[in-house]
Amino acid sequence: MTTASDTIFALSSGSVPSGVAVIRLSGPRAFDAANALVAGLPRRRDMVLRSIRSRNGSLIDRGLVLTFPSPASFTGEDCIEFQVHGGRAVVQAIADALKGEGLRPAEAGEFTQRAFDNGKLDLVEVEGLGDLISADTEMQRRLAIEQSAGGLSRRYADWAERLTRCRALIEAELDFADEDDVPGSVSDQVWSVVDQVRREIDSQSDATLRASAFRDAFKVVILGAPNAGKSSLLNAFARRDVAIVTEIAGTTRDVLEVDLDWDGFLVRLSDTAGLRESQDQVEQEGIRRAKRAAAEADLVLLLRSVDSVPEQPAFGSDAPPILRIWSKADLDVPPQEEMDAVISVESGQGLDDLRQLILEHVKREWTAISALGAGRMRHQGHLQNASLYLQDALKEDQVDLRAESLRLAADCFGRITGRVDVEDLLDVIFSEFCIGK
């Protein structure tokens, strides 16, 4: 059984062999264990070059040893780091020596969980750190760094503090209405603030919802009739044969996806089955999946070959943005109407222009959300609940019920940051981390 009083260690620098390996220790016995391997470690924040030896005194390696006394460390506990040569035998020998001193290997995310338990990070910062570790693109990194650096936490804390002050004014008026030193009618001071906070929360909620396109991928779905050139366009953008291309209509039966890093944005391009009436059950299922993918897309590329006039699919009022594109421009058939782009995969005509059109949509979305540093989808439900509580407070006639709605709204931010009722979430969140973090 693992306990918070255990002293733990782990390789924190990734797999070996490598040029350098970082072995991290944390817990009440970190300094005692390190001193058993390295003589004369200073019990202060320092970095020294030392020989690292086993219990019998044989040399394991020479490396840098960094000391971080509590509470000024990542976990808030005494921490030690060994920076040694990254050979498997070196790392294993140090691990064996630490086990001999009574330390145990850390579990996934255990260092970060101790930082959370000791108040060094809140849950929003923990999630941001996890996103930063897994970020593949520049924009994912930017979202993660804002969250891990505490920008979102400060915003949530600011809303909670403003609502707490509003509650204090309400309760002061209720309890001390006859006293001269109580501010005037709270309606003048409180409810304009509450409404402003509600509008800020709604903006944050919208940004959080839209930010999933950048945290996961901006989903671009290619849609059109059979043989409109959808698979060829996917292959051209991917610069490899992802989809099978033939002259036979209905070759593509499923949704094929490829992830592309375009200017630091992760764009997920999806090829789909051609849209037409069909009696083939497999093709019908492919068409159903194509329509579902289009409904869930952030952007749809609607292809139409210049040599055909297929029936265009109907989209509802909640449809994603659509770029209408003439394909197969190399056939030298004049387009029948103006579209957003004219392309030819064979000649390469218009492909760069189409890529820029797609990126313009991506960048507009990014501009709309980047200033807010939107959080994870877990935050979304709590933001929506907070907004609903504030709406109730603004509509309620009884002042005491209004104050209770403000309290419930403020609690929503505590659930986001991990300070109120989140025990059931912790194992899930920390299990996403790698060993050594």
In a domain, 242, yes or no: yes
Q: Please tell me whether residues 286 and 349 are part of one structural domain.
A: yes
pLDDT at 335: 67
Backbone angles phi, psi at 305, to 5 degrees: -65, 140
In a domain, 425, yes or no: no
Residue 324's domain comprises 223-363
Q: Please tell me whether residues 137 and 117 are part of one structural domain.
A: no
The pLDDT of residue 99 is above 80: yes
Q: Please tell me whether residues 235 and 336 are part of one structural domain.
A: yes
Q: Please tell me whether residues 306 and 322 are part of one structural domain.
A: yes
* Mean pLDDT value of segment 188-196: 85
Q: Please tell me whether residues 154 and 271 are part of one structural domain.
A: no
In a domain, 428, yes or no: no
* % of the chain with per-residue pLDDT over 70: 85
Q: For residues 15 and 201, what is the distance between their CA atoms, to the nearest angstrom?
A: 42
Pairing of strands 79-86, 18-26: antiparallel
pLDDT at 134: 84
* Mean pLDDT value of segment 38-44: 87
Lowest mean pLDDT among 54-68, 178-192, 352-366, 392-406: 178-192
* Mean pLDDT value of segment 227-243: 84
Q: What is the CATH number of the domain that holds 248?
A: 3.40.50.300
pLDDT at 269: 93
In a domain, 434, yes or no: no
Which is higher by pLDDT, 172 or 347?
Answer: 347
In a domain, 43, yes or no: yes
In a domain, 437, yes or no: no
Q: What is the pLDDT of residues 193-207, one digit of tens each?
A: 999 999 999 988 888
Q: What is the pLDDT of residues 4-23, one digit of tens each?
A: 789 999 999 988 999 999 99
The pLDDT of residue 1 is above 50: no
* % of the chain with per-residue pLDDT over 90: 38
Q: Please tell me whether residues 189 and 286 are part of one structural domain.
A: no
Q: Please tell me whether residues 279 and 395 are part of one structural domain.
A: no
Domain finish residue from 121, 140, 165:
121
The pLDDT of residue 243 is above 80: no
* Mean pLDDT value of segment 107-123: 93
Q: Please tell me whether residues 146 and 97 are part of one structural domain.
A: no
* Mean pLDDT value of segment 31-44: 91
Q: Please tell me whether residues 90 and 140 are part of one structural domain.
A: no
Domain finish residue from 121, 156, 190:
121
pLDDT at 273: 84
Which is higher by pLDDT, 247 or 130?
Answer: 130
The pLDDT of residue 25 is above 60: yes
pLDDT at 221: 94
Tokens of 72: 């000024």
pLDDT at 189: 73
Q: What is the CATH number of the domain that holds 152?
A: 1.20.120.430
Domain tally, the chain: 3
Report the amino acid identity of residue 288: R
State the chain's mean pLDDT as an integer.
84
The pLDDT of residue 186 is above 70: no
In a domain, 370, yes or no: no
* Mean pLDDT value of segment 260-269: 90
Which is higher by pLDDT, 380 or 429?
Answer: 380
The pLDDT of residue 369 is above 60: yes
Q: What is the CATH number of the domain that holds 66?
A: 3.30.1360.120
The pLDDT of residue 210 is above 60: yes
Distances (CA, A) of 305 to 67, 260, 294, 300, 353: 66, 25, 19, 16, 18
The pLDDT of residue 55 is above 70: yes
Q: Please tell me whether residues 232 and 205 are part of one structural domain.
A: no
pLDDT at 380: 87
The pLDDT of residue 123 is above 60: yes
Q: Name the band, by pLDDT with cuts 50, 70 and 90, for residue 248.
A: low
pLDDT at 98: 95
Domain finish residue from 86, 121, 156:
121
Q: What is the pLDDT of residues 289-330, one digit of tens each?
A: 888 888 889 899 999 888 776 555 666 666 788 999 988 888
Which is higher by pLDDT, 317 or 129?
Answer: 129
Q: Please tell me whether residues 387 and 355 are part of one structural domain.
A: no
In a domain, 208, yes or no: yes
Q: Please tell me whether residues 146 and 200 are part of one structural domain.
A: yes
